[in-house]
Each structure stands twice: as C-alpha cells, then as structure tokens.
Amino acid sequence: MNFHTWNPVILTLVTFIPLAGALLLLLLPRRDRDIRVFSLVISLFTFVLSLHLPVHFHRAQAGFQYEIDRAWIPIPNIHYHLGVDGISMWLVVLTTFLTPLCVLISWKSIDERVKEFFIILLVLETALIGVFVALDLFVFYFFWEATLIPMALLIGMYGHGRKVYAAVKFFMYTMIASVFMLAAILWLYAKVGTFDFVTIQNAIRAGQVGGFASAAQWLFLGFFIAFAVKVPLFPFHTWLPDAHVEAPTAGSVLLAGVLLKMGTYGLLRFNLGLFPEQARANAWWVMILALIGIIYGALVALVQPNMKKLIAYSSISHLGFVVLGIFSFTQAGLDGATYVMLAHGVSTGALFMLAGALYERRHTYEISEYGGLASSMPVYATFFLFVVLASVGLPLLNGFVGEFLVLSGAFQARAVYGILGATGVIWSAGYLLWMYQRVFYGKITKPVNETLPDLDLRERIALLPAMAAALVMGVAPLLWLNAISPAVQTALAPFAQLASKVVGQ
Amino acid sequence: MMTTGAAVIQIMPQGAEYIRILPEIVLSVFGMIIMVLDPLVDERATQKVLGGIALLGSLAAIAATLYQAQFPGFGFWGMVKVDGFSIFFHFLVTAITAVVILSSFEYMAVQRIRAGEYYGLILLGAVGMCLMSSAVELVLIFIALEISSISTYVLAGFRRRAAISSEASLKYFLLGSFATAFFLYGVALMFGATGSTSFSVIGQVLRSGQIPLLAYAGVALMFVGLGFKVAAAPFHVWTPDVYEGAPAPVVGFMSTAPKAAVFAVLLRVMFESNAPGRVGLIWVAAALSMTLGNVGALVQQNVKRLLAYSSIAHAGYLLVAFASLPDNGIPAAMFYTASYAAMNVGAFAVVSHIAGAGERYVTLDDYAGLGRRSPLLAATLTIFLLSLIGIPMTGGFFAKFYVFSAALQANLIGLTIIGVLNSAVGAYYYLRIIVVMYMREAREEIPAAPVSPALGAALAISVAATLYLGLLPGRVLEFASRSAAELLH
C-alpha cells in the first residue's frame, strides 16, 4: 500500500477521527467497560495514524506539508486550509500520544457519567489537533474556541472541590482574552480580504496592507493577550492553579500537556509570523514577564503544600522558558522552546498521572499526608523519581535538551536573561526534589499509607510510554530537532532581514 | 418583470398582485377558520384539531411564500413590494410561527389553557409581521405594526389566571401603544418633510441633497417607536417584566417573529429611505442595549428574565449592523435575525417544557441537575446557549461575526470593541445556566416529564437551523447579500 497517497487527507483524518469516535460513542449503550475500550481503541488508532506525519515528513524542506486547501464558506472568504510544519507536527503527535494515556488513567477514576466523559475527551482531542493544523485564521479561531467548552466541562463535571468556580474562571479568562484576538483577526480580514495565514503573511511582508503601520502594535497585542493568558504568562496565570487543582487527572494532563502549548504555539506562529517588527520591539518586556514567570512560578511552587498545585506552578515556570526562548529570536532559543513544549508535555503529563494515581488511593493531594511511601509503593516511587528527574532537566532525559537550548539562545540575546533564566533550573530541582523527599522518604507517619497498593498493570501501561518517550527524547533529540530546525529557520527569516536592515542603516 | 414607479398606478389590482400578498391571505383565512371553529369543536379536542389547523396554516403560508418568490414586483398601488428582502422575512416569520405552534401543543395541554384563540391570534399576528416586511409605504407599515402588536398584547396575557401574566399584558399594551404613537408621529413628520409616505419617494428626496430638519426629527421619532418594539435600550424597560409574565412559547414567538419584522422595517427606514443621522442614533442605542442588556442579565435568577435581558443585548448587537455600511450591514442584520430566531425559539421551547404546570419551574435552581435528569434536553439547551454566546459552529457565532466585520469595514472600531467585550460578558450568564445544568445537583425532586413528539420536532428544527447556520452559513448570507443589493438598486 502506498501511504503517500494519504498525504492530502491525513490531517483531516487525524483531526476528525476522534470526533467521529465521539459521535459513535453517542450511539453506544451505556456499558461503561465497552465505552472505555472503544475510546481507547479510537485514541490509539488516531495516534498510530498521526505517526504517518513524522514518518513521511520531508525534513529538509521548510514550509507547510500535508496541506489541504478547500473553499468552505464563500462570504466571508473562509478556506478549510490545514497544514503542518516541523513545529506543529510534533505538537499534533504529542496530543495524539497523550490522549490514549488519558483514557487509560481515567479507566477507574471516572465511574459515573462515563459515556459523557469519554465523549468530551475525544471532542477535546479533535479541537486541540485542529488548533495546531489550522492555517486559516478563521479555522484556527474556530478550533481555539472549541477547546474551551470540553475543557471547562471536564473540570466542572468531573473535578473535585471548587470545580465549578475553577471551570468558570478558566472559561472566562480564556474567553475574554480571545475576543481581542478575534477583533485583530477581523481587522486583518477587513483589510486583506482573506483569512489565509500564508496570504496574510505575504501581504504584510510585501507592505500591501493599508493602515498596517499604525494598527500593527494593537494587532500584536490583540493576539498576544489571547496567547499570554493561555500560556499562562505572569500576570495572567491565576486561573491555572485553580483549574489544575480541581480538574480530573485526564483534564490536568491535557491542560498542562497540550492546552498551554496552544498559547506558546500561537505566539510563535502568529505573533512572530505576522508581526516580526512588533515582536522585536516588544520583546524586552515580554522577556521580563517570562523571567518573572520562571522565577515567581518556581518560588511559589516551592512553598505549595498541595502536590497538584506545586506541579501547576512548575508549569508556569517551565512555560516561562518557552516564551523566553521564543522571544530570543535565535535558532537555539526557538529550537529549545519547541523542544521544551514537547518535553514538558510528556513529563508534566506523567507527573499529573502519578499524582492522580495517588489521589485515587488517598483522595488528597496534600504533601503532608504522605511520607515514606518508598517502602510501601516501591514501583510507584521509582516511576515518580524518573519523571521528576526528567522534569528537573537531568542530562540524557528530555527536560535537559530544551532548557539548555533555550538558555543558550537567551544568552545570545542578552546575557542577563540567560543568567536569570538559569536560576529557574536550580529552583525546579529544588521544589521537585524536595517534594519527592517529603512524599517518599522518611518514616511512614500515617498508618493508612502502609498498606497502599502499588501501581497496577493498567497504570504502568499508561506511564511507561511517557517514560520511554522522555528517555528517547533525552538521548536522541535530533529525531525531533531535524524537523523542527528548518521550520524555525523559516520563522526566523524575517528577523534576519530585519537585523540586516538595521545594520545596513 | 419589475414594475417601474410610473406603471404602478392603476385602477384595480391585477391577479399577480394578490399573489404578492398570498401568505397574508393564507394566514388570515386559516386564522379566521380557527376562530370560527373554536366554539364548535369539543373542548377536549380543541387542542389537537385547532392546533393542527394552525400548523397546517403556517405550513401553507411557507408554501405561499416560496410560490410568491416567483412574482417579484409592486402591488396595490405601490404599497406592497415583493423582493428577495421581503421573501427572506416572510419565510423567517412563517417558519418561526410553525415552530412556535409545534412547541405550544404540549405547553397548552400542561397549562390547561383553552387553545382556540391562541392559535388564531398567532396566525393573525403573523399576518401583520409578514406585511411589515413587504410594505414599502409608511401608513401600511403602521397598520401592519398594529396588527402584529395587538395580537401579541393579547397573547402575552394568555395565562389569564396568573396575575403576573395579566400584568405583563397590560404593561405591554400601555407602553406599546405609547410607543406606536411615537412611530405615527414620526411618520407624520416624515410626510411633512418629504411630501410622501412611500419609501421610494422619501429616498429620492433625502438623496437629492437638501435634507430638511423635520426629516431628522421624523427618523428619530420613528426610531423610538421601532426601538421599543425590538427592545433596544433606552426603550427596553418593559422587556423583563413582560417576558417573565407572558407564557413561555409566546415569549419565544414575540422575541423573534415581530422583532424580525420590525428589524425589516427598520432596515427599510434606515437604508432604503437613506435616513439622515442614522449612524449617531444607532451607535448610542446599540452601545446602550448591549451594555445594559448584558449587565442586567448578570444578576438574574429567573431564566425567563435572564433571556429577556439577553434579548436586549442581542438587539444591541443587531443594531451594530445598522450603523455599518448598507452593502454588508443589511445582509449581516438579516443573517442575525435568522440565527437569533433559530436559537431563541429553541431556548424558549426548552424553557416552556421545563416550566411545568403553572410555570412553576423557571428559576435557575430548577435547572440544577437537568444534565442528569434529561440529558438530551440539557444538551439541546446547551447548543442554544452556546449559540447565544457566539461559540463557533453555531449560528450565533457567524451572526456576531458578520455584524462585527461589517462594523469594522465601516471603521466603527469603538463600537466593535464595545460589542466584542460585551459578548465576553454575555458568555458568563449563559454559561451559568450550563454550569447549573451539568455541575450542580437538584435540591428538590423535579419530575422529568417526557418530551412530546411535537415539541421534539420543534427542538429538532431549531437545533438543525442553529447548526446549519453555524456550519454552512454561505447560502443564507449570499441570499441576504443579493436581496440587499436589490434593495439598494
């Protein structure tokens, strides 16, 4: 069978098979076991299918691949335009990789309204993939907003504690921020007459957009605010800890693993892609916000008594690295930023799964409730240590490569950024290892903890792929980077021209 | 076969001219049949028989509208004009009528209301609304407006054993007649300013350069009257009380069909007659309606009141299109009326089902646990609410989208930002209903009555329309654009 013939339709298939699966689930009778198995099959199938993307990707070639461009709605001129480059392709694979693990990890913990849960999960997967593959600004916005509802429902229906508050806060924060992006998109459409990303980009570069010079700063900010809330960048981060703490495990995994990357991906693709001059002009304060995020997130993580909140704040810190890398406008910085996105998705996803496994046993995330677990749950402790080390950035595991690249990019941009950013690595070792020590070492203080069952087979199956990915990403980063680098070069092309223009003057 | 202005004047109406009011004739005939049959049929059978006849009448009116589309042109001494624009609104009004009738069967049975005049009044009201969209002469418009208003005044008080319903009816009647007087006064001033009550002449005079001061006053007064009918701020104060008291299906009807018709009139007044002072007037009303509507809705506990405030806000979004340029403002407004009708009729159909006997369950708390109690109904309402928020894939999204892009093309950046921010605020209270339905447990046991087939059909039609407009808006918008171009010649 010649798989190349699939190229034009592969993105459509990968995007919509989860949705089709969700629709089929609607028809399935409410037998929880069947529903779980069916969702697992669908999400695994999507993952296998999505592997077509890296396998048949032309790595040396820049620009978008697997493109499909069909007219969808004549007025306004909306095209069903999908395509991926080396950056978005890996984010798609990350999404399809994490979803089956989410299904596995939710196997037992979701025991009521099971059918609805998996329907929502699969719809969410479609929306997330759609965000990364859309090349028409309208289609992008469509998927961007479409991620909101399933995520809010996951938190609000299946979360714990103040779940409704967290769901509404999440929804309102992102919704309000994205209307600014919508306004900017509408402005671009009014001037260019199309939503097509590539066409708009070319029109802007050729200087054919009337009134662009005066509006550009506002457009940059319109896009920026939507993405900054999603990342979340300090000071727009306050929704994240609430959402994470109250969300069910699968929700947290997708939230930290993929949803946050929508923000950094957007910054890279749209803020840098469409407004390079404004990106450069605004870089200084964005970098400062990113640094504040790195350090502030780490410091707050250090003092969290709640395990999940700690991981949530560590995400703020890690995502700060991504923004730092993106706005360094260097090859290493952007390569690293993309790599941190992927690595953080895998290792933080795994951390949330591990925390969730503990919650299923004890129904609390308080660190003080635990201690000495290493003796009662040895396998769990080993897995946890591995993931913590990956997240901390131990060489030969996935966290290291990206952070190293980002920091070297930041040094090139300005040494002080690199130095301040580097402290974040130290902090992260501090809060994660300290948490590890408090949870696993020492004597068992609570009698209930003595008899906690270790990880069962299902949980191990859910965790092992993530750990394997963390190892491979640490040992052989080139597998990923040789697709990422050409895409980054393209993204940086206008910046090189910009620099030479400045030098020329 | 467009008739020119000069050839319009003739002694007796020709055959084709009757076709140009065919939907109105059909609706009147069916309305009167119902009125006559009402005392003759057995009380227990009225529901089925008269409701069935009414449904048949509305379907016949839809058919008549489609047939009429082949006979564009003027009729009745240039007072009526059939064009793409009027066909669009005829179809909309008759379709809303059909869906509302479908969703009334169950409600009327549950509330134990004798059905006869109810269906008759809906059909006769629809006559006025249809006529409003095809009348091109201000006096005829006034008459059509009255026909539609009077029947809605009565319909609002149809739960006559409930004091709140009578209050709604009386309030609506008193304030409504006051507002209509304003409209009439505006018509008189316009006649004084331009020497005609026909849009084509008024348009010619107002385009010819010198705009008399009286015309400004005329437009402003007409806007007061029409603004009242569409519940635009600052003429919106009646809305929450009336919507709260009136029977739920009637609210679904009167928040969509007469509104669509009045917006049609307003489009003709503002664009076809080239009204002076349009942008400033509309700008203020739109900004006020959006803001007051959304802020008011934030604190409501009663779902009907909440939707009343939401309808004020939506009137505001719609008015944004009126401040834009005609080429894209008119189609945007037309699309908005259609998609608003789809989602609002649907939402009120759900509300009328949940309300139960005597409309007992209309507060937010009564919706708690609906996601568990009746998942399908909750999912349906969720779709309508998401559309009201303006989430992609629903008609409400494209409606807002077209309106705001029209505004941006007219460089109304301030108004667009107010609108966009408002739609974010609006998300909060619609979301609250969804949150309550899915994420809160019911405090008391509320019986989950099965959804009757007729109501199910009404909901299915509304959902289908909402999703159709959200996924494939192209054809509807294209039709609207074409008829707008026709309207402007």
Listing DSSP states for B212-246 in one string gives -HHHHHHHHHHHHHHHHHTT-TTS-TTHHHHHHHS
Coil, strand or helix at A443: coil
Q: Say whether pLDDT at B68 is over 80.
A: yes
Q: Please, which residues 48-107 of chain A have a Cβ atom closer than 8 Å to chain B?
A: 73-76
Q: Which of A391, A401, A409 has its CA nearest to residue A317?
A: A391
Pairing of strands B73-75, B80-82: antiparallel
Chain A closest CA to B419's CA: distance in Å? Answer: 10
Structure letter (DSSP) for residue B77? T
Q: Say whether pLDDT at B158 is over 70.
A: yes
Coil, strand or helix at A495: helix
Determine whether the interchain pair B473/A73 forms a contact, defined as Cβ–Cβ distance below 8 Å: yes
Is the ipTM higher than 0.85? The answer is no
Does A215 touch chain B if contact means CB atoms closer than 8 Å? no
Chain A closest CA to B375's CA: distance in Å? Answer: 10
H/E element, A70 = strand A65-73
Q: What's CA A69's distance to the chain center, in Å?
A: 26
Does A156 touch chain B if contact means CB atoms closer than 8 Å? yes
Chain A closest CA to B199's CA: distance in Å? Answer: 29
Which of A116, A179, A189 has the CB atom closest to B420's CB atom? A179
Indicate the domain borders of chain B.
Answer: 10-487
Q: Which of B408, B478, B52 has its CA nearest to residue A189?
A: B408
- Name the stretches of chain A with pLDDT < 50: 501-505
CB burial string A413-451: b at 16+ within 10 A, e below: beeebbebbbebbebbbebbeebbebbbeeebeeeebee
Q: What is the pLDDT of residue A498?
A: 60
Query: Looking at beta carbons, which residues of chain A come within 8 Å of B383?
Result: none
pLDDT digits (tens, 9 = 90+) for B377-432: 999 999 999 999 988 788 999 899 889 988 988 888 889 889 988 988 888 889 88
Q: What is the pLDDT of residue B10?
A: 54
Determine whether the interchain pair A190/B427 forms a contact, defined as Cβ–Cβ distance below 8 Å: no
Chain A closest CA to B454's CA: distance in Å? Answer: 23
Q: Which of B300, B323, B328, B315 has its CA nearest to residue B416?
A: B323
For B382, which residue in chain A has the nearest alpha carbon? A149
Helices (H), A303-414: 307-326, 331-362, 373-376, 378-392, 398-413
Q: Are A188 and A137 in contact (CB under 8 A)?
A: yes
Banded model confidence at residue B472, pLDDT cuts 50, 70, 90: confident
Q: Say whether pLDDT at B9 is over 70.
A: no
Determine whether the interchain pair A186/B439 forms a contact, defined as Cβ–Cβ distance below 8 Å: no
Q: Say whether pLDDT at B5 is over 60.
A: no
For A175, which residue in chain B has the nearest alpha carbon? B424
Q: Say whether pLDDT at B107 is over 80.
A: yes
Which of B420, B428, B481 has the CB atom closest to A183's CB atom? B420
For A167, which residue in chain B has the nearest alpha carbon? B435
Q: What is the pLDDT of residue A372?
A: 83
Q: Where are the beta strands (DSSP E) in A107-243?
A: none
Q: Are A315 and A348 in contact (CB under 8 A)?
A: yes
Does A175 touch chain B if contact means CB atoms closer than 8 Å? yes
Q: Are A110 and A170 in contact (CB under 8 A)?
A: no
Selected residue of A115, A165, A179, A214 to mutate for chain B interface (largest B Cβ count, 10 A): A179
Structure letter (DSSP) for residue B73? E
